[in-house]
Amino acid sequence: QSVLTQPPSLSATPGRKVTISCSGSSSDIGNRNSFVSWYQQLPGTAPKLLIYDNDKRPSGIPDRFSGSKSGTSATLAITGLQTGDEGDYYCETWDHNLNVGFFGGGTKLTVL
Amino acid sequence: DVQLVESGGGLVMPGGSLRLSCATSGFTFSTYSMNWVRQAPGKGLEWVSSLTPSGRSTYYADSVRGRFTISRDNAKNSLDLQMNSLRAEDTAIYYCAREPLGHQDLDYWGQGTLVTVSS
């Protein structure tokens, strides 16, 4: 069973940069056929796609958000933090051995 | 505009059944894989199930396999989730989400429908 591990919470001040890690294994993130996605969920709303294919931004997502993948881990970076960025962030990938999807446990971001 | 609208949620007793639906518009439904994702109250996201554009291939999380069935009607642009033998731990908001072909991300989500399993 794949498990994607994220820090439960992070906090930072407006204008600063924060990175959120997502640690997996060779069967999910570390599989060369697997791609990592990142989602933002603001309070009381549905999740929204921030990053797909490890490092690509959908149309309309500002370049303050960036993603990367290395080995069995992935990272979401947010620069120029704004109070409106407060919410929960989830990584997600597909396990090609089990043919199931997995989300990380989520990271609650507080912008103080 | 792409729209996904879930319906069918509600209160059901343990052991009961419920059928969720997701009505879609604004895109060529038959060319996208579709997924269900749930979120228990105060908890994180949990992937539940997905199926390919034709509906021939389906995938399930271990927690629901054998109890839930995902299906689609490409003529009606709709996605369903039949949930049987419901348990208290199935209580959650259920979201339908679109998955672009050849990708592994979920690029559009509905607003969700709440399922509560309780006696």
Which residue on chain B is closest to A105 by alpha carbon? B44
Q: Which residue has the tokens 């103080």?
A: A112
Give residue-wise pLDDT tens across range B58-91: 999 999 999 999 999 999 999 999 999 999 999 9
pLDDT digits (tens, 9 = 90+) for A12-42: 999 999 999 999 988 889 888 889 999 999 9
Distance from CA of A18 to the nearest CA of B (A): 20
How high does pLDDT run on average in chain A? 94
Instruction: State whether B104 and A1 contact (CB < 8 Å).
Output: no
Closest in A53, A99, A106 to B44, CB measured: A106
pLDDT at A1 over 80: no
Q: Which residues of B touch A1 (CB under 8 A)?
A: 62
The contacts of residue A41 (CB under 8 Å, 6+ apart) are A47, A48, A87, A88, A89, A90, A106, B45
Subunit contact B44:A52, Cβ cutoff 8 A: no
Is B111 an interface residue toward A (CB < 8 Å)? Answer: yes
A75 exposure class (CB count in 10 Å sphere: 0-12, 13-18, 19+) = buried
Residue A99 pLDDT class (50, 70, 90 cuts):
confident
The pLDDT value recorded for residue B55 is 93
Which residues have CB under 8 Å from B96's CB, separation 6+? B4, B6, B20, B22, B24, B34, B35, B36, B79, B81, B109, B110
pLDDT score recorded for residue A2: 55
Share of chain A above pLDDT 70, in %: 98
Nearest 10 degrees: CA dihedral of B28, B29, B35, B37? Answer: 80
Mutate: best of A9, A31, A36, A37, partner B, most B CBs <10 A: A37
Question: Would the CB atoms of A100 and B47 count as touching at under 8 Å?
Answer: yes
Q: Do A92 and B106 touch (CB under 8 A)?
A: yes
Does residue B24 carry a pLDDT above 60?
yes
User: In the predicted model, is pLDDT for residue B41 greater than 80?
Assistant: yes
Query: pLDDT tens digit string along A40-85?
Result: 999 999 999 999 999 999 999 999 999 999 999 999 999 999 999 9
CA distance B74 to chain A (A): 23
Q: In chain B, which residue's Cα lies nearest the Cα of A29?
A: B104
pLDDT tier for residue A95 given thresholds of 50, 70 and 90: confident
Flag if B107 and A53 touch (Cβ within 8 Å): no
- What token pair was written down for B1? 């505009």
Closest CA to B91 of B46, B48, B40, B21: B40
A35 and B105: CB-CB below 8 Å?
A: yes
Neighbours of B20 (CB within 10 A): 23
